[in-house]
């Protein structure tokens, strides 16, 4: 008889725990149960989908691993000899600064003198690495120290480097 009593207590506890979890979920979702609905037919309300407000901008998630890989590629290829970038601890003197490169890339595409094929900031950065002669940044002395092409880099390295520079805002 003790075994049956213990088993019944376990079942009762499990059912009451499940009911508590359901009620907590209903409460958290901000739903209220109608007082006219019989207890046996009450079901939890669906959780409403929250839409972002039109003025709120989604916070981009930065992939720390890709960022670190991109920085390592940047440093391994001596980009900082020519380019300044605080995030990489470099202070190059020949090429344009890479500070705010993610934002600057979009501005350069809009420049009337830009004749490259890029349509996005990421495409512009990739093009600048692989085909640097597609666009010369204003005020840069490219004749004496032209940027070499880094088209020889493995695709994964190019992707990481583009990602790293795109995050510089």
Identify the pLDDT of residue 50.
Answer: 61
Q: Do residues 83 and 165 lie in contact, with contact meaning Cβ atoms separated by under 8 Å?
A: no
Q: What pLDDT score does 27 carry?
A: 42
What is the rounded CA–CA span in Å between residue 126 and residue 158? 7
Listed in sequence order, the residues at least 6 apart from 150 whose beta carbon sits closer than 8 Å to its beta carbon are 77, 129, 130, 158, 161
Q: Is the CATH number of domain 64-166 1.10.357.10?
A: no
Query: pLDDT per position in the chain (169 positions), as tens?
Result: 555 455 454 544 444 444 444 444 444 444 344 444 445 555 555 555 565 555 656 666 899 999 999 999 999 999 999 999 999 999 998 889 999 999 999 999 998 888 899 999 999 999 999 999 888 887 666 567 788 999 999 999 999 999 999 999 8
Q: Which two tokens stand for residue 58?
A: 């989604």
Contact 121, 161 (CB under 8 A): no
């Amino acid at each position: 008889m003790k075994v049956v009593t213990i088993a019944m207590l376990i079942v009762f506890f499990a059912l009451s725990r499940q009911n508590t979890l359901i009620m907590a979920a209903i409460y958290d979702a901000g739903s209220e149960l109608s007082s006219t609905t019989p207890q046996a037919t009450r079901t939890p309300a669906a959780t409403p989908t929250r839409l972002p407000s039109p003025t709120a901008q989604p916070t981009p998630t930065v992939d720390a691993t890709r960022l670190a890989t991109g920085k390592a590629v940047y440093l391994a290829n001596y980009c900082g000899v020519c380019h300044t970038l605080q995030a990489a601890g470099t202070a190059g003197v020949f090429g344009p600064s890479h500070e705010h490169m993610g934002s600057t890339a979009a501005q350069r595409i809009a420049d009337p003198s830009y004749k490259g094929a890029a349509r996005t900031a990421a495409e512009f950065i990739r093009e600048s690495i692989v085909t640097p002669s597609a666009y010369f940044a204003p005020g840069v002395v490219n004749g004496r120290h032209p940027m070499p092409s880094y088209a020889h880099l493995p695709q994964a390295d190019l992707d990481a480097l583009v990602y790293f520079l795109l995050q510089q805002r």
